């Protein structure tokens, strides 16, 4: 009993630190977005002044630069849950800082029984592993693909990332140069998925690593 309480406290602390860390990261990203909006009127005035002077090429370049900035703002993913948005976008921000291209599409379907904390644990660990794996590779070889949505009557999530050589597997655990933290991360995901009666799998091959999970959705009566 004492041992279980110690483990539970460590898990709770780990989850709290995880959420706080990535909420801080996404808040930084949102500050950049608010800064862009704040500068909107200045941008308009600058273009109006250039137009009045007939500097149309300069206006064209200015608009192109603004479009690039707006594209970056619009890449923020909205899943339907604020806490999940925080950790997912925080991780994608880290990937961008490390020159890792990401193709992500994520929407949490109605009837998803998983708590925000547990979704953040799942997403946080899977993307941590994906980012760390990519950082070992040359920039031109890096990629991460994320998909989360409804698949029949289940929540489906997959994370695929570039990787080096195939990881060796001992039992249900993959060996990694990261050490124990890699196995701990995937283990935490597996435990969390199991808690909701779901299925989790991870597959390693030369050049890539894929993690997938399925969790049954609540039906309409259970949602009410």
Burial of 94 (0-12, 13-18, 19+ CB in 10 A): middle
Kindly tell me if the per-residue pLDDT of 103 is higher than 90: yes
Please tell me the predicted confidence (pLDDT) of residue 86.
Answer: 81
Which of 55-69, 76-90, 192-206 is predicted with the least confidence, judged by mean pLDDT?
Answer: 55-69
**Residue linked to tokens 């949102």:** 30
pLDDT category at 186 given cuts 50, 70, 90 is confident
Taking residues 23-27, report their average pLDDT. 63
Q: 74: alpha, beta or left, given left = phi > 0 and alpha = psi -120 to 50?
A: alpha
Q: For residue range 210-223, list pLDDT tens digits in order.
A: 999 999 999 854 55
The CA distances from residue 137 to 11, 100, 132, 142, 167, in Å, are 31, 10, 9, 6, 15
Segment 137-160, tens digit of pLDDT:
999 999 999 999 999 999 999 999
Q: List residues bridging with 148 in a β-sheet.
A: 106, 157
- For 21-73, strand residue ranges (E) read none
The structure tokens listed for 54 are 């007939």
β-strands 102-106, 144-151 pairing: parallel
For the cut 50, the answer to whether the pLDDT of residue 180 exceeds it is no
Q: For residues 158 and 27, which has the higher predicted lDDT (pLDDT)?
A: 158
Confidence grade of residue 185 (pLDDT, cut at 50, 70, 90): confident
Q: Which residue has the higher pLDDT, 59 or 74?
A: 59
* Nearest residue to 164 (alpha-carbon basis) of 178, 153, 181: 178
Residue 11 has pLDDT above 70, yes or no: no
Angle ∠(53,58,60) on CA atoms, nearest 5:
115
- pLDDT at position 58 is 80
pLDDT for the residue numbered 48 = 80
Percent helix, strand, coil in the chain (nearest 5)? Answer: 55, 20, 25
Is it the case that residue 173 has pLDDT exceeding 60? no
């Amino acid at each position: 009993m004492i041992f279980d309480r110690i483990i539970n406290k460590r898990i709770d602390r780990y989850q709290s630190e995880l959420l706080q860390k990535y909420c801080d990261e996404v808040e930084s990203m949102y500050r950049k977005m608010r800064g862009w909006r704040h500068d909107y009127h200045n941008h308009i005035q600058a273009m109006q002044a250039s137009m009045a002077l007939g500097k149309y090429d300069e206006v064209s370049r200015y608009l192109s630069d603004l479009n690039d900035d707006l594209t970056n703002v619009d890449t923020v993913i909205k899943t339907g849950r604020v806490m999940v948005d925080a950790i997912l976008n925080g991780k994608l921000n880290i990937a961008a800082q490390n020159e890792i291209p990401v193709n992500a599409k994520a929407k949490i379907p109605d009837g998803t029984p998983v708590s925000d904390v547990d979704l953040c644990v799942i997403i946080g660990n899977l993307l941590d592993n994906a980012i760390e794996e990519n950082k070992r590779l040359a920039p031109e070889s890096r990629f991460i693909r994320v998909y989360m949505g409804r698949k029949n009557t289940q929540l489906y999530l997959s994370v695929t990332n570039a990787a080096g050589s195939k990881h060796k597997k001992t039992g249900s655990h993959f060996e990694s140069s990261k050490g124990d933290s890699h196995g701990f991360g995937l283990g935490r995901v597996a435990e969390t998925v199991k808690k909701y009666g779901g299925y989790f799998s991870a597959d390693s091959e030369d050049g890539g690593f894929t993690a997938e999970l399925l969790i049954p959705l609540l039906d309409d009566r259970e949602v009410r």
